[in-house]
Amino acid sequence: MTAKFIVLEGLEGAGKTTALKFITAWLQQQQIEVVSTREPGGTVIAEKIRTLVKQAVANEPLTLMSELLLMYAARVQNTDVIIKPALAQGKWVISDRYFLSSFAYQGGGRQLEIAAIQAIHQACLGEFKPDLTLYFDIEPELGLSRAKGRGALDRFEQQHLDFFIRTRQVYQKCLAKDDTIVEINAGLAIEQVNAQLIKALQTLLLSLQSQLQP
């Protein structure tokens, strides 16, 4: 079976990390070998970049372009060191966030020019993209209240509500344009979220089986 690359996207507190564990276990039950990773991060170097972009530094703001480039540096590292080698070995890969986060957060939230993101994206990743993106759609207020329940907030989680409203708008625009992005109603209870996840995974598995039939 061809290995697939699945990405989980959405605002803070939408339930991506919770879902990653559920999806990993569900795929393993289907005898599928799974490698999980996250963004920014996933490798030793990329995790160092994660710390840089998540923590505020006194008296020196991280410029918007620096933030975007650091995100792509971490992404290229994760892609070349973890994601592509795993797929080449026939292992499925699940990533907690991937490039859609840059379009949504740096493009929507921070209002960087989308054309600039596209240019950097093309240089870094070319045509490489996930087979399936599960977009966890949630009201920003609800997601943030869940994230607050987890403890101290990072540099992104401290943004104003408008930032997350703009971020969500870009996610929703991308969802409407790309049929490899599937919407998950993340405002529901965990059992109902999991039922939606199983449905999306079963659809992916069925499409694979039909491709394999002569």
- Binding interface with ligand ATP (CB under 6 A): 10, 12-18, 146-147, 149-150, 189-190, 193
Residue 64, contacted partner among Mg ion, ligand ATP, none, CB below 5-8 A by kind: none
Neighbours of 184 (CB within 10 A): 25
DSSP 24-47: HHHHHHTT--EEEEESS-SSHHHH
Q: Which is nearer to ligand ATP, 83 or 193 (CB)?
A: 193
Which of 4, 13, 17, 141 binds Mg ion (CB under 5 A)? It is 17
Closest CB 8 distance from Mg ion, rounded Å: 8
Regarding 18 and contact with Mg ion (CB under 5 A), the answer is no
80: region left, alpha or beta (phi > 0 left; psi from -120 to 50 alpha): alpha
**DSSP three-state, residue 189:** coil
Residues forming beta bridges with residue 93, ordered by sequence position = 5, 35
Tokens encoding 176: 């409407």
Number of residues that bind Mg ion (CB under 5 A): 2
Q: Please give the distance of CA 17 from its chain centroid, rounded to a whole number.
A: 10
Q: Which is nearer to ligand ATP, 22 or 131 (CB)?
A: 22
Closest CB 96 distance from Mg ion, rounded Å: 6
Residue 146, contacted partner among Mg ion, ligand ATP, none, CB below 5-8 A by kind: ligand ATP
Closest CB 49 distance from ligand ATP, rounded Å: 16
Closest CB 65 distance from Mg ion, rounded Å: 25
DSSP 128: -
Q: Specify whether the CB–CB gap between 187 and 142 falls below 8 A.
A: yes
Applying CB under 5 A, the residues found at the interface with Mg ion are 16-17
